[in-house]
Amino acid sequence: MLMAQLNLMVRILWRRKKRNFLLGLAVILGVASLVVIRSFGLGSEEDMMAQVDRFLGARAILVSSGGQGMGEWDRGQALKLKMEDLQALADEVADIEVWDPVQTTSAMVKANAVSFRLPIFGHSERAEQVWQRGVDVGRFFSAGENEARARVALLGPKAALRFFPSGNAVGQTVWIEDDPFQVIGVLAPLGFDPHGMDLDDEIHIPIETLMRRVRNVDYLRMGKLWVKPDRNVESTAESVRQVLRQRHRLGANQEDDFTLVTPQFARKLIAQMNRLFRVILPSISGLALLLAVVLIMSSLALAVRQRQKEIAIRRAVGATSNQISRLFLLEAVLLSLTSGLIGCGLAVFLLGVFQMHGAHTVLDWSAMGLGVLVSAGVGILAGWLPARRAGKLDPAVALR
């Protein structure tokens, strides 16, 4: 009986295939956009997580000056993180294995008759261990060079190619503003950081050189703390917070004038950012599906009026009102569900095309399942009223 009804519904839908395709188009586009958007969101989240793992590491705590989180700094707070603060953390927090201070600037760099404005980073000799980034060519600067404020520099691989396209950067001289720096190494490639900054197109110099010779400042941009392997990063971060609050003489009601970033904090932040892909953008797909409900409902209501004689004949040969209602309801569900499956197929095809062109997407199977369920729900919602009206139709009235 059920198979006979399905065969009947397929024949009815096929007779009006062009109209039904247009009706199902809203469901197709709604489901396809839902799957594509969610899959892009998963791919984006994976990319950002990989960048965080590469840039931050699983055992790291970033301490930055200013208590404004990821927003703009308060100028007064930005001057408060000092080298002595990080040294005190290393002395008082036993779980810290090693640390590296960071200060930054932007300067005009010249060599071989070309010049570019590039970011300049000041690090200690411990940066190679703390940031897990060494050199591909040459050597890292030493503790002695840092203490002596030596004019030595490490070039990112892209920065090295800017000035020395032949590849012989080590031993050459670059001018940072008006000061000559000897190139002693080329950093290993690292790609982009979570903020989109190209880490391969920058220059590293000893931090004492940057703070005393280049910028003449006594405060830090940030520091990176590397936690011992068998210690908990979050509990260590809380110990760091307490030491810094005490050193900065912050009262119980005063907010931190620094920001701590741990891997767990970074992942929560990424999840909040991806809320756009998980909630907001998929709601656009909901508008298309809502439109599908209206279109299918209107079409079925029209079909009920056009097929009154067919309904009357079926009632005359013994079909009950429930059977008539079920016929129209199943017709709506079949149309909507088929459109949802086509939408899933379209989404898989589009994701394949995007991946061929270099986009990173991760097929969201839960979104596909949700799309199929929602498309079935659209059919039920759109078909219920017309089906009920068809079931209540008086055969005698319909045959007049």
- What's the pLDDT band for 355 if we cut at 50, 70, 90? confident
Name the domain boundary from 225, 256, 287.
Answer: 256
CA terminus-to-terminus distance, the chain: 30
Do 381 and 294 share a domain, yes or no? Answer: yes
**Boundary (domain end) residue, out of 206, 223, 256:** 256
Q: Determine, yes or no, domain membership for 327.
A: yes
**Quick check: 337 pLDDT over 60?**
yes
Domain shared by 92 and 235, yes or no: yes
Does the residue 41 lie in any domain? yes
State residue 70's pLDDT score. Answer: 46
Confidence of residue 210 (pLDDT cuts 50, 70, 90): very high
Q: What is the pLDDT of residues 78-96, one digit of tens each?
A: 568 999 999 999 999 999 9
Q: What is the per-residue pLDDT across 283-332, written as a single tens digit (0 to 9) for each?
A: 777 777 777 777 777 776 766 666 666 666 666 666 677 777 777 777 77
Tell me what the mean pLDDT of segment 331-350 comes to.
85
The alpha helices in the chain, defined as continuous H runs, are: 2-15, 17-55, 75-78, 83-92, 127-130, 143-147, 157-163, 207-209, 233-247, 263-273, 275, 282-306, 308-316, 321-356, 365-391, 395-398
pLDDT tens, 127-184? 999 998 999 999 999 999 999 999 999 999 999 999 999 888 999 999 999 899 999 9
- Give the pLDDT of residue 71: 44
Same structural domain for residues 217 and 320? no
Residue 73 confidence (pLDDT): 46
Average pLDDT of the segment spanning 221-227: 94
339 located within any domain? yes
- Quote the DSSP letter at residue 79: T
Lowest mean pLDDT among 11-15, 56-60, 201-205, 271-275: 11-15
| pLDDT surpassing 80 at residue 199 | yes
Contact 301, 391 (CB under 8 A): no
Same domain, 299 and 202: no
pLDDT tens per residue, range 41-58: 788 777 777 777 777 778
Within this chain, do residues 92 and 224 fall inside the same structural domain, yes or no?
yes
Give me the pLDDT at residue 291, please.
73
Q: Is 257 exposed, middle or buried (0-12, 13-18, 19+ CB in 10 A)?
A: buried
Is residue 222 within 8 Å of 81, Cβ to Cβ? yes
> Do residue 174 and residue 39 come from a single domain?
no
**Average of pLDDT values for 363-383?**
81
Asked if residue 383 has pLDDT above 70, the reply is yes
Query: Do 212 and 333 belong to one domain?
Result: no
CA distance 20 to 272: 40
Q: What's residue 317's pLDDT?
A: 65
Instruction: Choose one of 205, 227, 256: the last residue of a domain.
Output: 256
pLDDT of res. 9: 53
Same domain? For 233 and 99 the reply is: yes
Q: Which residues pair with 114 in a beta bridge?
A: 111
Q: Which amino acid is at 209?
A: T
Q: Which of 142, 138, 139, 137 is nearest to 124 (CA)?
A: 142
Comparing 334 with 135, the larger pLDDT belongs to: 135
Q: What is the pTM of this model?
A: 0.68
Residue 115 DSSP code: E
Residue 232 CB partners (closer than 8 Å, separation 6+)? 95
Q: Which residue blocks in 104-256 are alpha helix, DSSP H?
A: 127-130, 143-147, 157-163, 207-209, 233-247
The number of distinct structural domains making up the chain is 2
Examine the domain organization and report whether 322 and 236 are in the same domain.
Answer: no
Q: Which residue has the tokens 């498309």?
A: 375
> 334 is written with which tokens?
């079949």
- Rounded Cα–Cα distance for residues 199 and 155 (Å): 10
DSSP-based three-state secondary structure for 61: strand
For residue 87, tell me if it sits in a domain.
yes
The average pLDDT across 103-119 equals 93
Q: Residue 139, SS3? A: coil
Domain membership flag for residue 221? yes
**219's tokens:** 């405060």
- The average pLDDT across 93-109 equals 94
Residues 328 and 384 in one domain: yes
For position 134, what pLDDT does the model report? 92
* Cα–Cα distance for residue pair 325/316, rounded to 1 Å: 15
Q: Among 123, 86, 92, 324, which residue's Cα sits nearest to residue 205?
A: 123
Q: What is the mean pLDDT of the chain?
A: 82
Tokens encoding 245: 């609050």
Asked if residue 57 belongs to a domain, the reply is no
Q: Does 264 reside within a domain?
A: no
Q: Is residue 372 part of a domain?
A: yes
Lowest mean pLDDT among 28-32, 228-232, 249-253: 28-32
Q: Are residues 26 and 93 in the same domain?
A: no
Structural domain boundaries, residue 23: 2-49+275-398
Residues 357 and 281 occupy one common structural domain: yes
